[in-house]
Amino acid sequence: MNERTPVLDFACHAILVVGAAIVCLPIYFVFVTGSQSQQEIMQVPLSWLPGDQFLANMQTVLSSAKFGKLLLNSFVVACGITLGKLAVSLIAAFAVTYFRFPFRLTAFWLIFMSLMLPIEVRIVPTYESAANVALPLNILGGWLGWQALIDLDWNLVNTYSGLILPLIASATATFLFRQFFLTLPDELCEAARIDGASPWQFFRLILLPLSRSNIVALAIILFLMGWNQYLWPLLLTTDPDMATAVIGLKKLMPQSDSLPTWHVLMNAAFLTMLPPTIVILLLQRWFVKGLVDSGK
Amino acid sequence: MLARNSEGLALTANADARRLRWPLRRRADAPIRGGQAESGLKRAHFTGSWLPFWLLAPQLFILLLFFFIPSVRALLQAFQLTDPFGATTQWVGFQNFERLFRSGVYWSSVQVTLLFTLAQNILTLSVALVLAFATNHIARGRGAYRTILLLPYAIAPAIAGIMLAFLFNPRVGPVAQMLQGLGFDWDPNRNSGHALALIVMAASWKHICYNYIFLVAALLSVPRSILESAYLDGAGPIQRFLRICLPMISPTLFFLVVINFVYGLFETFAIVDATTRGGPAGSTSILVYKVYQDGFVTLDLGSSAAQSVVLMALALALTFAQFRFIERRVNYSV
């Protein structure tokens, strides 16, 4: 096909430029506002050019709002979710596709069911489970009448494990790896077994290297998801030092009766969105493949 | 999160997987024939040993603690009444639901949610379609446009909400100032229509990129042979898009509609909390926000649990719709 459509070509470029501008405008204003002083942001109309207060604002954000610690928390939580979910789901997917054992289908359906209910629809009991992980033992103790079990208390509020573990509890990654393993040729496993490989050797030497691109793609998506979490950290962190960066932003939101410190908020927002943006820019090729394959 | 899939890229890779996606059907017409055809198991596999149980243990243990127990308790709590201090609990049958369905506040929240998810869905999908068509049409610069258009994926919904709340803030926001300059009395803090428009824009801004990636991938997979024969028959680019590409990518469109509903219903809590906080006067209090409000702020646990159950039913229905329709795909595979 060698078609010449100059008018349509121009219109398409115009549409894409407008689309890109709509995407960039809010991001640009985060930077502009984050680099202005209190007086400058109160002006009407607001200046469309960046000011010279970016570093000064950043200092305010890092010192008075303790954003350094919050960014560190976000990093730990995002990495914890990524690594934890990848590890747990890789071995679980290996078990359901490469082993025959009693209750194999039951196990698969149990995992599959967790795809259906997002955490948002069961927040209150999930919060109670995290506030006391020993809750099931308490209930059991209540039935059996054992006081020792009823008194058990293991609180995950304001801990990294409380922020990480409940978000690992969904089987999207397991399901994806299962699908991937099912597409691999059977000969690989047959050959490995003829050569005398143990299941663990087969997993480590053959399955893991083959899954590398899927692992990288999924890791990017999980990192972004973990970094950008909102509802769960909001509930689970009462101690301001344990909050994640996104939750820290909520605390900086200007209230209606005080001085609107949008410049501090925007500076903090800029710092918060920088790491995921860098990840997506550097690893875009992997990320797009992962997103379309997993439909996540 | 739901199991999502574009055009069955991975899922339809083998027949077993297709069967597994539909539990009821598997029982009905596909009995497991011993050995070879066990669904979802590799033909070459390992047998006998405790290893698979150990491999599954971490996943199942975490699911038990943070998925199954909370889900079951959410169901139970919907039929219980607990005082705000958690001291006493009693069974009340369907009272929580009766109270909920008689509450005018709840129905107005349902209405807001419906309006919000529909508007968000239409806006997101139509903008993404136009952008995907344009990207597919042009020959040069695709990569650069795509890089920019993908940026919102990296940005937290809460930050997307904060950004738009700032741009449209009647006191300091530059876009709001432009609107006021045009004589438009814009104030999302007082006008409920404006507040709803604000969260629709924020939700779409964040989600268009997701739709866009899938549509671009789907448009690329439309066979060139069909497009070329249409070209020889004299169909122009727009006609080819409407008559050939759109029907061919209809599975992706349907998938995206479901995903956008899921997103609008469950994943927009952060946007609402960061921009309007359900206000003014509950006009942007979508269902997920109301569950949180009743469960953690006003501590009406029974009502919150009943609302959770209604949302669970919605989530299940959407999963169901997704599998059902992707199963009977509207496709013309060649």
Residue B47's DSSP bridge partners are A100
The ipTM estimated for the assembled molecules is 0.87
Identify the closest residue of chain B to A118 by CA–CA distance: B1
Q: Is residue B153 part of a domain?
A: yes
Q: B254 CB near a chain A CB, below 8 Å?
A: no
Q: Report the alpha-carbon distance of residue A52 to residue A169 in Å, rounded.
A: 45
Query: Locate tokens 């494990």: which residue?
Result: A161
Mean pLDDT of B120-137: 93
* Residue B329 one-letter amino acid: R
Residue of chain B whose Cα is closest to the Cα of A296:
B4
Match 């459509």 to its residue by tokens: A5
CB contact under 8 A, A125 and B74: yes
Q: Is B127 an 8 Å CB contact of chain A?
A: yes
Q: Which residues of A touch B2 (CB under 8 A)?
A: 115-116, 118
Q: Which of A138, A136, A131 is nearest to A154 (CA)?
A: A131
Q: Evaluate whether residue B132 is within a structural domain.
A: yes
Query: Nearest-CA residue of chain A relative to B16?
Result: A182
pLDDT in tens, A170-221: 788 888 888 889 888 888 888 988 898 888 899 999 999 999 888 988 898 8
Which domain covers residue B180, as residue numbers?
Answer: 104-327
Tell me which chain A residues have a C-beta less than 8 angstroms from the C-beta of B9.
292-293, 295
Contacts of A46 in chain B (CB under 8 A): 172-174, 177
The average pLDDT across B276-294 equals 85
Interface test with A, best of B71, B137, B159 (most A CBs within 10 A): B159
Instruction: Please report, rounded to a whole number, the percentage of residues in chain B having pLDDT higher than 70.
Output: 84
With 80 as the cut, is the pLDDT of residue B241 above it? yes
Residue B237 is nearest to which of A5, A224, A295, comparing CB atoms?
A: A5
- Out of A83-92, B181-190, B242-251, pick the least confident: B181-190
What is the structure's pLDDT at A293?
A: 67
Mutation to test the B interface, candidates A23, A111, A184, most B Cβ within 10 Å: A23
The H-or-E segment that residue A276 falls in is: helix A262-282
Q: Is A260 in Cβ contact with B55 (below 8 Å)?
A: no
Model pLDDT, residue B7? 32
- Optimal mutation site among B166, B182, B298, B326, interface A, most CBs of chain A within 10 A: B166
Q: At what angle do helices A67-98 and A104-113 cross, to 10 degrees?
A: 150
The closest alpha carbon to B73, from A230, A27, A127, belongs to A127
Label residue A48 by pLDDT band (50, 70, 90). confident
Is the CB of residue B162 less than 8 Å from the CB of residue A253?
A: yes
Do A104 and B296 make contact, defined as CB atoms within 8 angstroms? no
Residue of A nearest to B11 (CA): A179
Per-residue model confidence (pLDDT) at position A176: 85
Residues B296, A276: C-beta atoms closer than 8 Å? no
Q: Quick check: B308 pLDDT over 70? A: yes
> CA dihedral defined by A105, A106, A108, A110, rounded to 10 degrees?
160
CA distance A235 to B293: 12
Q: How many CB atoms lie within 10 A of CB A50?
A: 14
Q: How would CATH label the architecture of A6-294?
A: Orthogonal Bundle (1.10)
Residues of B in contact with A172 (CB under 8 A): 1, 3
> What is the SS3 string spanning chain B?
CCCCCCCCCCHHHCHHHHHHCCHHHHHHHCCCCCCCCCCCCCCCCEECCCHHHHHHHHHHHHHHHHHHHHHHHHHHHCCEEECCCCCCEEECCCHHHHHHHHCHHHHHHHHHHHHHHHHHHHHHHHHHHHHHHHHHHCCCCHHHHHHHHHHHHHCCHHHHHHHHHHHCCCCCCHHHHHHHHCCCCCCCCCCHHHHHHHHHHHHHHHHHHHHHHHHHHHHHCCCHHHHHHHHHCCCCHHHHHHHHHHHHCHHHHHHHHHHHHHHHHHCCHHHHHHHCCCCCCCCCCCHHHHHHHHHHHCCCHHHHHHHHHHHHHHHHHHHHHHHHHHHCCCCCCC
Tens-place pLDDT, residues B202-211: 999 999 999 9
Pairs of residues, one from chain A and one from chain B, whose beta carbons lie less than 8 Å apart? 363
Q: Is A125 on the interface with B (CB under 8 A)?
A: yes
- What angle is formed at CA B82 by the lines to CA B76 and CA B84, rounded to 5 degrees? 135
- CB atoms B166 and A9 under 8 Å: no
- Per-residue confidence (pLDDT) for residue A258, from 0 to 100: 65
What does the alpha-carbon distance between residue A43 and residue B170 come to, in Å, rounded to a whole number? 13
Alpha-carbon dihedral of residues A169, A174, A175, A177, nearest 10 degrees? 160
Helix (H) or strand (E) holding A99: strand A99-100
B141: which chain A residues are within 8 Å (Cβ-Cβ)? 13, 16
> Which among B291, B273, B38, B170 has a CA at the least distance from the CA of A98?
B38
Closest CB from A26, A112, A295 relative to B6: A295
Q: Is residue B122 part of a domain?
A: yes
- State the Cα–Cα distance between residues B135 and B27, nearest whole angstrom: 44
Q: Do A101 and B48 touch (CB under 8 A)?
A: yes
For residue A179, give every residue at least 6 positions away whose Cβ sits within 8 Å of its Cβ, in sequence order, or none: B10, B11, B13, B17
Cis previous bond, A45, omega within 30: yes
Interface touch B70/A165, C-beta < 8 Å: no
- Is residue B76 domain-resident? no
| Domain presence at residue B194 | yes
CB A240 within 8 A of CB A247: no
Q: What is the mean pLDDT of residues B22-40?
A: 45
- Distance in angstroms (rounded) separating the CA atoms of residues A217 and A295: 12
Looking at the domain assignment, is residue B93 inside a domain? no
The pLDDT-based confidence of A103 (bands split at 50, 70, 90) is confident
A157-171 average pLDDT score: 86
Residue A210 burial class via C-beta count within 10 angstroms: exposed 0-12, middle 13-18, buried 19 and up: middle
Mean pLDDT of chain B: 80
Task: Look up the pTM and report it.
Answer: 0.84
- Return the CATH number at B163: 1.10.3720.10
Residue, of B164 and A122, whose pLDDT is higher: B164
Interchain CB contact of A29 with B (< 8 Å): yes
Residues of chain A numbered 211-230 and touching chain B (CB < 8 Å):
224, 227-228, 230
| Alpha carbon of B115: minimum distance to chain A alpha carbons (Å) | 20
- In chain A, positions 152-181, which contact chain B (CB-CB < 8 Å)? 165-166, 168-172, 174-176, 178-181
Asked if the structure places residue B278 within a domain, the reply is: yes
User: What is the total count of domains within chain B?
Assistant: 1
- Specify if B65 maps to a domain: no
Q: Chain B window 184-213: which residues touch A at a Cβ cutoff of 8 Å?
A: 189, 205, 209-210, 213
Which tens digits make up the pLDDT trace of B58-79?
999 989 888 888 888 888 888 8
Listed by start position, the domains of chain A span 6-294
- Tokens 């033992």 belong to which residue? A137
